[in-house]
Structure 1
Amino acid sequence: MAKPVNIRYIPPSERDGGLLNKLMALWEASVRATHHFLREADIENLKPYVTEGLADIRHLYVAADADTPTAFIGIQDKKIEMLFVSPQHLRKGIGKRLVDMAVRNHGAIFVDVNEQNPEARAFYEKLGFVEFGRTETDGQGNPFPIIEMRRKDFPIQTRDLTIKQN
């Protein structure tokens, strides 16, 4: 069984430079351990977007061991926008706990994963997500295809249409 982890909601008013620096260091270490398709220039180019995302995301939760962040998740509009776990805490259940919390507490039913990161896709599939779309580029227009996923036990719903699984 996974060791208990302290998970705390971080309101925007508490997202100061010190915390953002710690989370950016965690993000970079996690990306270097899991996103092998990214070049050094790609990582550097993504940093401003990640910093902005951390500051602005509606729901940000940080898992910590003492005062050291070990993982974080950002949720907005029923979508997991970011989930990163420090390399030394990978495969210890923290990511699953954060996703379970996002689904349970915020109705998160969507997530995007990089196509070149099959481990992330397998992780979300194990947690009940299925592919429903694909884009050729990421949100910044980079040539990194994105797999759009949703919880398989939830219908796809738009303003004009609801599709339910039989």
Structure 2
Amino acid sequence: MLIAYPARLTDYPELISLWERSVLATHHFLHPIDRQTIKQNLPQYFDQVTLLKWQLDDAIVGFSGTSGTELVMLFLDPAYFRRGYGQQIIQQLGNIKRVTVNAQNPGALAFYQRQGFKIVSQAAVDGDGRPYPIINLAR
């Protein structure tokens, strides 16, 4: 069973590495410069959310960041893709009502729709004004 632990500053390097592996596997649309900029900003993003690392025994499967009832980030190590861990995380987080996904990441959109989220709005740029359309979902 997946167990959540509060992420600490000392976990950041491992979580950033996991983020990069996950993004390389799923976010093919990201320009390398944007990927590098986001990677450099991850510590600041981590500090703005309730950050949990999700583990099976000693292995980190992924991490999540929430703000109130919004899931701000959820990334899994590609080694754990398509095994039901994302769904377990959503269930264990409980009262998640909102999430935003990149429109160019149809796998993530389909995943959240399977979790009961519905599209409520869209935007032509991401939260930092980069040219990556986003889809806002709610349940």
Whether TM-score is above 0.5 comes out as: yes
Displacement after TM superposition at 1:50 (Å): 2.0
Given that 2:5 and 2:54 are in contact with CA atoms closer than 8 Å, whether structure 1 keeps it comes out as: no
Letter in structure 2 aligned against 1:23: L
Which secondary structure state, in structure 1, belongs to the residue aligned with residue 132 of structure 2? coil
Partner residue, 2:32: 40
Runs of 4+ more than 4 Å apart? none
Matching of residue 124 in structure 1 with residue 112 in structure 2:
yes
Partner residue, 2:137: 149
Displacement after TM superposition at 1:88 (Å): 0.6
Separation (CA, whole Å) in 2 of partners of 1:22 and 1:34: 18
Equivalent of 2:90 in 94, 99, 104: 99
Displacement after TM superposition at 1:37 (Å): 0.5
Which secondary structure state, in structure 2, belongs to the residue aligned with residue 74 of structure 1? strand
Matching of residue 20 in structure 1 with residue 16 in structure 2:
no
Partner residue, 2:66: 75
Displacement after TM superposition at 1:53 (Å): 1.6
Normalising by structure 1, we get a TM-score of 0.79
Letter in structure 1 aligned against 2:71: I
**Which one has more relative contact order, counting CA pairs under 8 Å at least 6 apart?**
2
Separation (CA, whole Å) in 2 of partners of 1:8 and 1:55: 17
Q: Work out the number of aligned pairs and report it.
A: 139
Partner residue, 1:60: 51
Deviations 1:76-123 (A, max 9, x none): 121000000001100111111111122x2xx21000000000000000
Displacement after TM superposition at 1:40 (Å): 1.5
Which structure 1 residue ranges, 5 or more long, are not aligned?
152-166
Normalising by structure 2, we get a TM-score of 0.93
Which secondary structure state, in structure 1, belongs to the residue aligned with residue 100 of structure 2? strand
Partner residue, 2:22: 30
Given that 2:53 and 2:62 are in contact with CA atoms closer than 8 Å, whether structure 1 keeps it comes out as: yes
Deviations 1:48-87 (A, max 9, x none): 3322121331x22211233332111111121000000001
User: What's the Cα RMSD here?
Assistant: 1.3
Which secondary structure state, in structure 2, belongs to the residue aligned with residue 9 of structure 1? strand
Letter in structure 2 aligned against 1:84: F
Partner residue, 1:157: none
Which secondary structure state, in structure 2, belongs to the residue aligned with residue 23 of structure 1? helix
